[in-house]
Structure 1
Amino acid sequence: MQTTVQSSVAFKGVGLHSGQPACATILPAPAGQGIVFRRTDADPAQADIPALWSHVNQSPLCTLLENEHGMSVSTVEHIMAALVGCGIHNAVIEIDGPEVPILDGSSAMFVRGILSRGVRRMAAPLQALRILRPVEVIRGAASARLTPHDTLLVEFAIEFEDAAIGTQKKTLNMSNGSFVRELSTSRTFCRKADVDAMRANGLALGGTLENAVVVDGEKVLSPGGLRHADEAVRHKMLDAVGDLGLAGLPILGHYHGVRAGHALTNDLLHAVFSQPDCYEIVECDAATTARLPGADVHWDEIPEVA
């Protein structure tokens, strides 16, 4: 069955790029609505922004959604990943400005907030998007592909010249609460040279060594170092889960990203929905639902973070 949150939960912090205070509140929503962002600082008639692939205005640094009125909200990928990972299908996210708070740079605080309120099952059947044949998009050395699978399987490979990251690969099945246990605490990361360049251009003004993993060659500059030896590729997988959540339905398929970013995953969803013969919409029975992200999440499995 479809789900929503039992009660509202608020998250306060700053926007990663703007550096301005930001508050996002997840509220229950009716069955069939999906995920909707609502700008509380806007005219109510223009405030709603559906969390859908077709509303992405591609940006190289984050996932940005925009409605037909030009109202936007950015850096939605971490909160979307938390909703997918906790198995939330319907919610309104009220936000008081143009950017979701970055919090600690991962999805951990969003996950804790959602699960502290609880998940409410609704009297409405759940549908999923099942991939029937391979679909792939390529940009230079980067690629993103979806192939048939009976769960959401996420595979990712990255390669960076900084020795602190280097080459990393990982594959995880997202069923049985593995997003919460394995990916939710992994933080966004960047090279010190990129941070310097972004700040010179008025970006990453809210970034700190506490809400991002910053590397410089072999060094990890963030206090306490890494939460996982392969935290970088885990975070790329976290981003992919959030961006795939913009399909509007849980996905049954194997996602394989190589050096992929937000825009390429969005290109992949465009490619999927432009080819109706490569997918089908299925109503989930109990066995299918048990294989979806968030189907078996337990509060005591949330990793502790410093």
Structure 2
Amino acid sequence: MIYQRTLKESIRAVGVGLHSGEKVELTLSPAAADSGIVFRRADLPERPTLRVGPELVNDTRLSSTLVKDGVRVATIEHLMSALAGLGIDNVLVDVTASEMPIMDGSAAPFLYLVQQAGVREQKPARKRYIRVLKPVEAIEGDKWVRLLPHEGYKVKLTIEFKHPAFQKAAQTVELDFADTSYIKEIARARTFGFMHEVEYMRAHNLGQGGSMENAIVLDEYKVLNQEGLRFEDEFVRHKVLDAIGDLYILGHPLIAAFEGFKSGHAMNNKLLRALLADPEAWEYASFDNADTAPAAFHRYTPARI
């Protein structure tokens, strides 16, 4: 039997919000089986909670943001990506501000926190997957994303930036998590931005906490970070990291192939809503043991260490 997973114990970290610039205290705690991934605003009266689901993603400007009854938790995609990578089904996420801490701009610090807290199975609660049964897509101009039936978990993503730093590296990546480690190949890829965007973002109260400590920054010609890139194609790998996090807002791992061209948070959310709107496009699935599950799910979901 493949069982649900939560943390063994609580763990805490402090950081800054990428867009708000606010100091944020983050606490990850174990949660009961079938409770899902729940964000709680510990700084507000009555400590309101938001359980992840595509219907709560109501702001996708530069991040995926949960909004319910005026309560917001922004920039959840990097933590969601890490939880997907380690197969965490149930966790309580306490934050003391309206935005998650950006940490170093990747999912790696969140992976580290989960690994430090430890992971435990929640017997006898069975892990539930969502299996895609027929193609589902979302299209907007020249951007598109789709989910295809596939007995495993694959991601193929293409970005398109007319910039010297991007044109030196691959702008397409295709990964099958049956034989690819999320931790080694995706988790360390950082978010990125351009100097010319800074003025726009600041005018819209975004990017207030951004720096070269938590993002790859580019001018018109090159990467400005002194240490350079962690991967030759770090830009597109970060978009894969984002997509994995956005898709995990379903609350269940996907048995599917995801493909995208110039995708982003808005498109990813539109795709999830299209999937759930068609009851013939998906079904729940569980597995009696790891041997009967697709190889992509043998150890961690959707990846293997």
Please report the TM-score for the alignment, with normalisation by the length of structure 1: 0.93
What's the Cα RMSD here? 1.7
Deviations 1:118-167 (A, max 9, x none): 21001111111000110011011111100011112111000101111236
Cα 1:283–1:15 change in 2 (3 A) is same
CA distance in 2, matches of 1:160, 1:65: 28
Aligned residues: 297
1:87 alignment partner AA: G
Equivalent position SS for 1:113 = helix
Whether the 8 Å contact between 2:26 and 2:94 is mirrored in structure 1 is yes
Unpaired segments ≥5 residues, structure 2:
none
Q: Which residue of 2 aligns with 1:4?
A: 6
Whether the 8 Å contact between 2:151 and 2:294 is mirrored in structure 1 is no
Whether the 8 Å contact between 2:105 and 2:214 is mirrored in structure 1 is yes
- Correspondent of 1:33 among 35, 43, 47: 35
Q: Which residue of 1 aligns with 2:142?
A: 141
Report the identity percentage: 39
Q: Which residue of 2 aligns with 1:269?
A: 272
1:45-124 alignment, distance < 5 Å: 47-67=48-68, 69-123=69-123, 124=125
CA distance in 2, matches of 1:268, 1:111: 26
CA distance in 2, matches of 1:230, 1:102: 21
Equivalent position SS for 2:20 = coil
Cα 1:56–1:237 change in 2 (3 A) is same
- Correspondent of 1:206 among 206, 209, 214: 209
Cα 1:257–1:97 change in 2 (3 A) is same
Would you say 1:235 and 2:241 are equivalent positions?
Answer: no
CA distance in 1, matches of 2:210, 2:274: 33
Whether the 8 Å contact between 1:129 and 1:252 is mirrored in structure 2 is yes
CA distance in 2, matches of 1:223, 1:58: 33
Would you say 1:252 and 2:255 are equivalent positions?
Answer: yes
Whether the 8 Å contact between 1:164 and 1:216 is mirrored in structure 2 is no
The structural deviation recorded for 1:272 is 0.3
CA distance in 2, matches of 1:118, 1:247: 23
The structural deviation recorded for 1:197 is 2.2
1:279 alignment partner AA: W
Whether the 8 Å contact between 2:177 and 2:302 is mirrored in structure 1 is no
CA distance in 2, matches of 1:206, 1:227: 21
- Correspondent of 1:191 among 189, 194, 205: 194
- Correspondent of 1:278 among 276, 281, 284: 281
2:11 alignment partner AA: V
Deviations 1:48-98 (A, max 9, x none): 01111111113221000012x221100000000000001100000001110
- Correspondent of 2:300 among 294, 299, 303: 294
Cα 1:289–1:22 change in 2 (3 A) is farther
The structural deviation recorded for 1:100 is 0.2
CA distance in 2, matches of 1:98, 1:236: 23
